[in-house]
Amino acid sequence: MTYQTIIFSLEAGVARLTLNRPDRLNAFDSKMHEEVADALGVVERASDARVLLLAGAGRGFCAGQDLGERKRGPGDPPPDLGESIELRYAPLIRRLTNLELPVVCAVNGVAAGAGANIALACDLVIATQSSRFIQSFVNIGLVPDAGGTWLLPRLVGGARALGMAMTGAPVSAADAEALGLIWRCVPDAEFAAEVEALVAKLASAPTRALAASKLAIRSAWGNSLSAQLDLERDLQRSLGLSADYAEGVAAFGEKRPAKFRGN
């Protein structure tokens, strides 16, 4: 598929998906939904993919739903937003969180509406100091979606989640890091290098172990301690049979860096 609204590549284990409608702050229109879904399919099917980097072109990460698509003329019926969530946003969040790879989101400016919550659904969010996260839904009379109402209270607690949802107040990247909303806030000048270093580290890590950590930590939010202990047992049993575990233990014994191959 030739893409018009995203830039996508998969090289040396690193899949890069850049939202590319910078004049609309990378807001999602139907085409972008279609293309992101297609690119995610490529990543899901690629046996050599070891990390996905999601980013935005231009001065922002993503401003959520393209509101140009929601303009109505006199007499036009209202759009079915439930259908949009069911067919587009919810599957996207499910796919990002279920992907058996680490997903890094590089936030290079504003992340608003569903754009904020798509970022927060990724495993590691790294943002420039000048970035802002905005639950802007309230400004147009909507509720946070794309998993925001589930994720925000788990990440920052109910009081702050409600504050963000009800006021739509921008949260700076520094505050987002301090609150535990994102992994790291970095100076703008160091952002590109920090993103590349993180991606390179993850691309040479034991991929199956990363996928197991993702599954276990995401499952913990719904599991009892007992269920979680069972899950850890099962995951560790499976990882104990992996080539990367054998390599890790051998490398430790031989006092050399491990060369993980992701299997």
Binding site for ligand T3D (CB under 6 A): 24-25, 27, 63-68, 70, 81, 84, 110, 112-114, 134, 136-137, 139-140, 142, 145
- Dihedral of alpha carbons 193, 197, 199, 203, sign: positive
> Residue 179 CB, nearest distance to ligand T3D (Å)?
19
- Choice between 56 and 102, CB closer to ligand T3D: 56
Question: Which lies closer to ligand T3D via its Cβ, residue 35 or residue 66?
Answer: 66
Shortest separation between residue 78's beta carbon and ligand T3D, angstroms: 11
User: What CA–CA distances, in Å, run from 256 to 34, 91, 146, 171?
Assistant: 45, 42, 43, 43
- Smallest distance from ligand T3D to CB 121, Å: 13
Cα-based torsion angle of the residue sequence 41, 55, 134, 67 in order, rounded to the nearest 10 degrees: -60
CB of 61 to ligand T3D, least distance (A): 10
Q: How far is the CB of 38 from ligand T3D (least distance, A)?
A: 19
Tell me whether residue 14 or residue 63 sits nearer to ligand T3D (CB atom): 63
Which CB, 137 or 245, lies closer to ligand T3D?
137
Q: How many CA atoms lie within 13 A of 249 on its CB side?
A: 7
Beta strands 14-19; 103-107: pairing state: unpaired
Task: Give residue number: closest CB to ligand T3D.
Answer: 64
Reading across the β-sheet that carries 14-19, which strands appear in turn?
Answer: 6-11, 14-19, 51-56, 103-107, 124-128, 184-186
Give which of 208, 46, 44, 215 is closest to 123, Cα–Cα. 215
In the bound complex, what is the minimum distance in angstroms from residue 165's beta carbon to ligand T3D? 12
Closest separation in Å from C-beta 83 to ligand T3D: 8
- Burial class of residue 132, CB neighbours in 10 A (0-12, 13-18, 19+): buried
DSSP class of residue 86?
A: I
Nearer to ligand T3D, 92 or 199 (CB): 92
The span from the CA of 166 to the CA of 185, in Å, is 24
Angle between helices 90-98 and 114-121 (to 10 degrees): 20
Q: Looking at beta carbons only, is 60 or 206 nearer to ligand T3D?
A: 60
When the beta carbons of 15 and 112 are compared against ligand T3D, the nearer one is 112
